[in-house]
Structure 1
Amino acid sequence: MHVSFELAQQIIDKAVEKSIAIGVKSCIAVLDSGGNLKSFTRMDDAWVGSIDIAIKKAKTACYFAMPSGEIGKLSQPGSPLYSIEQSNDGLITFPGGLPIVDAEGILIGAIGVSGDTVENDHIVAQAGVNVAGVCDVPKHPWRT
């Protein structure tokens, strides 16, 4: 199952609302469970460079069914996933990408946010994911 167009738009809308509330300009990407772009927005005055970063944060969260920032912790020098960001045509391994799972714990997509600090990107992404009603990482991430 994939995130629907309607849900993707609701996620984007809530993330934009949160961006405005905390005073940041964000690029926001929602992907389906296959890592394909489902919906995207670039707020006025958001950095152009953040377009690619938002999509890659979402891709990272989707491909590994975990927050992009968690992959970042595992990809430091000497860690088990060191240099993983070089795979899959480039990943982003800092916060701002979150998996989206359904009520059964099945991965249905991911969100990626870029445009401000990684802390604010994560806050905006979390606001978007909260629309789906399920925020936990799936127990069986391979179930898509």
Structure 2
Amino acid sequence: MTNLTLDVARRILDMALAKGVEKKLKPLVVTVLDPRGCVKISAAQDGTSLLRSEIAHGKAYGALAMGMGSRALHQRAQEQAYFINAVNTLAQGRMVPVPGGVMILDDNGTLLGAVGVSGDTSDNDEICAIAGIEAAGLKANAG
């Protein structure tokens, strides 16, 4: 696979949301971005709070912008807060450096895009993103 099709993105989204339902998590937003950072698909479960869509997008966008899952960005933010703040300023505040932004890779390690999930704890958001990616037969890199 050399690109992320809408059908594959839809499967990732559906399976990430299904994982949230299975785990009885708070309502989630899932956003799938292509490698350019453009939205391929996004959906919010009923009852999500106001900024969840922007947060989900920011988790995926940050992963793509820095080339690492947002768990690694979170760690880096703890170790090098000034650097992450400077990069986020350059990104016009679009990065959310906490777990829940996961890189999508094919079997050859080619970057296909990223998934961002927001709504529950960051760890649970990440679990759902990984579940969606793996259910689509792809590899996840959470950082």
Shorter-chain TM-score: what band?
0.7 to 0.9
Distance 1:54 1:110 in 2: 10
Deviations 1:96-134 (A, max 9, x none): 000001111110110000001111111111111112323
Unaligned stretches of 5+ residues in structure 1: 138-144
**Does 2:24 correspond to 1:23?**
yes
Q: Which residue of 2 aligns with 1:37?
A: 39
Superposition pairs for residues 24-103 of structure 1, below 5 Å?
A: 24=25, 25-76=27-78, 78=80, 81-83=83-85, 84-90=87-93, 91-103=95-107
Q: Cα gap change, 1:78/1:108 in structure 2, threshold over 3 Å: closer, same or farther?
A: closer
Asked if the contact 2:107/2:139 (under 8 Å) is kept, the reply is no
Distance 1:39 1:136 in 2: 18
Q: Which moved more, 1:82-91 or 1:106-115?
A: 82-91
Q: Cα gap change, 1:13/1:52 in structure 2, threshold over 3 Å: closer, same or farther?
A: same
Q: Cα gap change, 1:95/1:78 in structure 2, threshold over 3 Å: closer, same or farther?
A: closer
Supply the AA of the counterpart residue of 1:20.
V
Q: Cα gap change, 1:74/1:7 in structure 2, threshold over 3 Å: closer, same or farther?
A: same
Q: Cα gap change, 1:13/1:136 in structure 2, threshold over 3 Å: closer, same or farther?
A: closer
Supply the AA of the counterpart residue of 1:47.
S
Report the Cα offset of residue 135 of structure 1: 2.3
Asked if the contact 1:61/1:110 (under 8 Å) is kept, the reply is yes
| Matched positions, count | 137
Distance 2:77 2:89 in 1: 11
Report the Cα offset of residue 4 of structure 1: 0.7
Report the Cα offset of residue 66 of structure 1: 1.5
Report the Cα offset of residue 27 of structure 1: 0.4
Report the Cα offset of residue 87 of structure 1: 2.8
Provide the aligned C-alpha RMSD in A. 1.7
Distance 2:80 2:130 in 1: 29
Identity of aligned residues (%): 31
**Does 2:117 correspond to 1:119?**
no
Asked if the contact 1:76/1:82 (under 8 Å) is kept, the reply is no
Asked if the contact 1:30/1:39 (under 8 Å) is kept, the reply is yes
Deviations 1:26-65 (A, max 9, x none): 0000000000000000001011211100001011112222
